[in-house]
Amino acid sequence: MKRALITGVTGQDGLYLSELLISKGYEVYGLVRGQNNPKLGLLAATVPEVKVLTGDLMDMSSLLRALHAAEPDEVYNLGAISFVAYSWENAHLTTDVTGKGVLNLLEAVRLYSRDDLTRVRFYQASSSEMFGKVQEVPQRETTLLWPRSPYGVAKVFGHHMTINYRESYGLHASSGILFNHESPRRGPEFVTRKVSQAVARIRLGLQDRIALGNIDAKRDWGFAGDYVEAMWRMLQQPHGDDYVVATGSTHSIRDLLEVAFTHAGLDDWQRYVVQDERFMRPAEVDLLVGDPSKARSVLGWEPTVSFDELVRMMVDHDLIEQRALAGV
CA–CA separation, 170 vs 304, rounded Å? 33
Of the residues 82, 129, 174, 227, which is catalytic?
129
Residue 219 parent element (H or E): strand 218-219
Cβ proximity of 100 and 94 under 8 Å: no
CA–CA separation, 47 vs 111, rounded Å? 30
Parallel, antiparallel or unpaired: strands 222-223 and 181-182: parallel
3-class secondary-structure state, position 31: strand
Q: Directed axis angle between helix 150-169 and helix 101-113, to 10°? A: 20
Cβ proximity of 227 and 245 under 8 Å: yes
CA–CA separation, 40 vs 70, rounded Å? 18
Q: Directed axis angle between helix 224-234 and helix 12-23, to 10°? A: 60
Q: Which of 218, 184, 200 lies closest to 286, judged by CA?
A: 218
Verify whether residue 151 is a known catalytic residue. Answer: yes
Of the residues 62, 82, 127, 128, which is catalytic?
127
Of the residues 29, 123, 151, 243, which is catalytic?
151
CA–CA separation, 120 vs 251, rounded Å? 38
In sequence order, what are the residues at sequence separation of 6 or more whose Cβ sits closer than 8 angstroms to the Cβ of residue 17? 6, 76, 78, 228, 231, 232
CA–CA separation, 302 vs 292, rounded Å? 9
The partner residues of 159 in beta bridges, in order of sequence, read none
CA–CA separation, 100 vs 121, rounded Å? 19
Burial of 35 (0-12, 13-18, 19+ CB in 10 A): exposed
Catalytic residues: 127, 129, 151
